[in-house]
Amino acid sequence: MSLRRSPIGCPIRSICLFFKRAKVLPLHKENIHRKSSRRTKTIYLIGEGTGETIDKIARASLAQFLCEDLKVKKFFQVRSKEQIRKISNGASEDGALIAFSIVEPSLRDFLIEETRSCGIKAIDVIGDFIVQLSMFLEEKPMEVPGRQHVLNEEYYRRIEAINFAVKHDDGKQPQGLRVADMIFVGLSRTGKTPLSTYLAHQGWKVANVPLHPDMTPPPELFQVDQHRIFALIINVETLVKVREARLRQVGLTPDARYADPVRISDEIDWCKAFYEQNPGWHVIDVSDKAIEEAAASILNIYQSKKRSKSRI
Amino acid sequence: MSLRRSPIGCPIRSICLFFKRAKVLPLHKENIHRKSSRRTKTIYLIGEGTGETIDKIARASLAQFLCEDLKVKKFFQVRSKEQIRKISNGASEDGALIAFSIVEPSLRDFLIEETRSCGIKAIDVIGDFIVQLSMFLEEKPMEVPGRQHVLNEEYYRRIEAINFAVKHDDGKQPQGLRVADMIFVGLSRTGKTPLSTYLAHQGWKVANVPLHPDMTPPPELFQVDQHRIFALIINVETLVKVREARLRQVGLTPDARYADPVRISDEIDWCKAFYEQNPGWHVIDVSDKAIEEAAASILNIYQSKKRSKSRI
């Protein structure tokens, strides 16, 4: 039988993304002039694998610029000279800057030659770091692409953690709480689900339980080690903003009872009082924090608790 | 009332991680000697925010080395000179290499001075790239930490996508299939859930529906645009391996019917025949592919379909 296959090794596919970010420039004359007189700049990101590394580096670096008229074109799974040639020609036409992460030597050298002959700049974003590591480790780099994604026992543990988080989301299967590394509790829209799946992708077994004045949490929540429970708290302004955003996302009007500031304030007061009754829980303020930032705070606490326990 | 707060700005907390990877060195005498005579090397990763960027770069770069006796210590949310001083002293004692990602100028300069006076090497992993970007964009970098995590409409869309994926996992709420960007179908343990949450964290609305010879898929699956359906296929060897790993992870013996090769082979044959009855679906081979790699293949197809549609 013939099955259509995934396109590894097929002709290049590019993705055009406009990195969106908050615009902080005030709207005075000088800035309007500056914006309109400036041509759109283009950056090409090239990776030989999934493109995660180059994407992460580009996002972190570009966040340091306003770059209002910037176009980012991504090319991943680039594994042939033919692909490199086409991309270089495109970059030359666009007058683009190329940022790449390619470890396979002949492909990397070819890219450098091609871009040089096209007169465009290409930056090897982790090449220098690999050279420095090589000197420090006194070991030659393997120069083999895709070595990050080894399907070993650690990988399967991570997959298991993701399945666990989804199965134990929103208070489901409370009997599973006893085997969770961490448990998140909090009001609706305090980020329990995104936090759980984010940390699950890092290999942590996470469950979450919703709290509401009219609901009784499952008894299992109080039977587990209470120091593994992270109680999310948020201020009224942020929760109103988050719930309004939620209503917009699902196409409802923002005047619903769900985003009513008075009601939200009551919910938060109840929640704080409830947390005070459970002094073993770690209270985490998630107001105005992205899930990545809240996760970093939680991991800091979790790891330091674990270390202090192992010292006892 | 007083609530315990998350530890931003609190004393440094470090996490010791041993990056695990498949060991490929054969166990002959020379290698045993090499391993035992070599001292453990230590790398310090320092980030001023969540540490995601430095972590990603380190993982990608270290994957190019065997570095069997390597210890990696991570320090994130580093925002004070006091923290830098303590970390530098620790690194000096360990004879470590420091890799850092700090954009705040006074902190970055302080780190460079401190490590220089301690006689250890510190590498600014994205500093050079930011300088190159600055020249290309003709714009000064803002040098403000944490700018990646702006809570804008795009952020809330991503949060909504994560909640959507969890709510529409494993065939739940099939009426939601019509608004999904992508739908994954496949046998048990072909990676539907990890793929869904992975792509959801990138902002894609993804649902997944399990397939099994004894189950009838929900009628909604056949009522949506069939080109948005990605049908996961896998070979017998990989599925046996994955299901055995699953049984080990949950503490069951690997001889259960779930991981029986004959039964799995029958399931896969049935699945292939079922996919042939649905020619609109994209068949994706996930054998021996990490979720990140499968996701890259899927996005390639999805984006190229979208582009060719927009050209019509």
In this predicted structure, the answer to whether residue A54 has a pLDDT above a threshold of 80 is yes
Query: pLDDT higher for A110 or A29?
Result: A110
State mean pLDDT over A232-237: 96
What mean pLDDT is reported for chain A? 86
Q: Which tens digit of pLDDT belongs to each residue from A63-72?
A: 999 988 899 9
Q: Which residue of A has its CA nearest to B192?
A: A163
- In sequence order, the 6+-apart residues with CB closer than 8 A to the CB of A46 are A54, A75, A76, A78, A84, A87, A98, A99, A100, A101, A102, A111
User: Residue B12 has what pLDDT?
Assistant: 33
Q: Which tens digit of pLDDT belongs to each residue from A68-97?
A: 889 999 998 899 999 999 999 999 999 999
Confidence of residue A150 (pLDDT cuts 50, 70, 90): confident
Q: Which helix (H) or strand (E) holds A195?
A: helix A192-200
Burial of B76 (0-12, 13-18, 19+ CB in 10 A): buried
Query: pLDDT higher for A38 or A236?
Result: A236
User: Residue A27 has what pLDDT?
Assistant: 34
Q: Which of residues 172-201 of A touch B (CB under 8 A)?
A: 191, 193-194, 197-198, 200-201
Residues of B in contact with A1 (CB under 8 A): 272, 276
Q: Which tens digit of pLDDT belongs to each residue from B106-138?
A: 999 999 999 999 999 999 999 999 999 999 999
Confidence of residue A47 (pLDDT cuts 50, 70, 90): very high
Cβ-defined contact of A245 to B150 (cutoff 8 Å):
no
Could you tell me the CATH superfamily of domain B14-137? Response regulator (3.40.50.2300)
Please check whether residue B57 is in contact with residue B103, taking contact to mean a CB–CB distance below 8 angstroms: no
State mean pLDDT over A174-198: 97
User: Residue A253 has what pLDDT?
Assistant: 74
Tokens for A288, please give them. 């105005």
Q: Does A132 touch chain B (CB under 8 A)?
A: yes
State mean pLDDT over B283-290: 96
What residues does A283 pair with on adjacent strands? A231
Residues of B in contact with A144 (CB under 8 A): 64
Alpha helices in chain B (DSSP H): 29-37, 52-62, 81-94, 105-118, 127-137, 153-167, 192-200, 236-249, 261-276, 291-311
Q: Which tens digit of pLDDT belongs to each residue from A257-298?
A: 888 899 999 999 999 999 999 999 999 999 999 999 999 999
Please check whether residue A21 is in contact with residue B152, taking contact to mean a CB–CB distance below 8 angstroms: yes
CATH classification for the domain delimited by B153-311, as one of 2.50.20, 3.90.1070, 3.40.50, 2.60.40: 3.40.50
In this predicted structure, the answer to whether residue A247 has a pLDDT above a threshold of 50 is yes
In this predicted structure, the answer to whether residue B23 has a pLDDT above a threshold of 60 is no
Rounded Cα distance between A312 and A241, Å, is 43
Q: How much is the CA Rg of chain A, to the nearest whole Å?
A: 25
Q: Which of residues 10-69 of A touch B (CB under 8 A)?
A: 13, 15, 20-22, 41, 43, 49-53, 56-57, 59-67
User: Residue A304 has what pLDDT?
Assistant: 82
In this predicted structure, the answer to whether residue B182 has a pLDDT above a threshold of 80 is yes
Please check whether residue B210 is in contact with residue B163, taking contact to mean a CB–CB distance below 8 angstroms: no
User: What ipTM was estimated for this complex?
Assistant: 0.82
State mean pLDDT over A19-36: 35
Cβ-defined contact of A62 to B134 (cutoff 8 Å):
no
Q: Which tens digit of pLDDT belongs to each residue from B40-77?
A: 999 999 999 898 999 999 999 999 999 888 999 999 88
In this predicted structure, the answer to whether residue B9 has a pLDDT above a threshold of 60 is no
User: Residue A34 has what pLDDT?
Assistant: 37
Q: Does A128 touch chain B (CB under 8 A)?
A: yes
Confidence of residue B15 (pLDDT cuts 50, 70, 90): very low
User: Residue B39 has what pLDDT?
Assistant: 79
User: Residue A130 has what pLDDT?
Assistant: 96
In this predicted structure, the answer to whether residue A20 has a pLDDT above a threshold of 70 is no
What mean pLDDT is reported for chain B? 86
User: Residue B181 has what pLDDT?
Assistant: 97
Rounded Cα distance between B97 and B42, Å, is 7
Confidence of residue A148 (pLDDT cuts 50, 70, 90): confident
Q: Does A7 touch chain B (CB under 8 A)?
A: yes
Q: Which residue of B has its CA nearest to A19?
A: B154
Least confident piece of the model among A113-117, A228-232, A274-278, B17-21: B17-21
Cβ-defined contact of B194 to A43 (cutoff 8 Å):
no
User: Residue B158 has what pLDDT?
Assistant: 95
User: Residue B147 has what pLDDT?
Assistant: 84
Rounded Cα distance between A218 and A173, Å, is 10
* Residue intervals in chain B for CATH 3.40.50.2300: 14-137
In this predicted structure, the answer to whether residue B295 has a pLDDT above a threshold of 70 is yes
Q: Is the dihedral of CA B27, B33, B36, B39 positive or negative?
A: negative
Q: Give me the residue from B64, B249, B301 closest to A103, CB to CB.
A: B64
- In sequence order, the 6+-apart residues with CB closer than 8 A to the CB of B290 are A149, A150, A151, A155
Q: Which tens digit of pLDDT belongs to each residue from B264-281?
A: 999 999 999 999 999 999
Q: Which helix (H) or strand (E) holds A60?
A: helix A52-62
User: Residue A38 has what pLDDT?
Assistant: 53
User: Residue A123 has what pLDDT?
Assistant: 96
In this predicted structure, the answer to whether residue A24 has a pLDDT above a threshold of 50 is no
Q: How much is the CA Rg of chain B, to the nearest whole Å?
A: 25
Mean pLDDT is highest, among A183-197, B69-83, B238-252, for: A183-197
User: Residue B230 has what pLDDT?
Assistant: 98
Q: How near does any CA of chain A get to the CA of B28, in Å?
A: 18
Mutate to test the interface with B, among A45, A120, A129, A276 (most CBs of B within 10 A): A129
Helix (H, G, I), strand (E, B) or coil at A99: strand
Please check whether residue A84 is in contact with residue A14, taking contact to mean a CB–CB distance below 8 angstroms: no
Burial of B162 (0-12, 13-18, 19+ CB in 10 A): buried
Query: pLDDT higher for A265 or B249?
Result: A265
Confidence of residue A2 (pLDDT cuts 50, 70, 90): very low
State mean pLDDT over B211-224: 97
User: Residue B185 has what pLDDT?
Assistant: 98
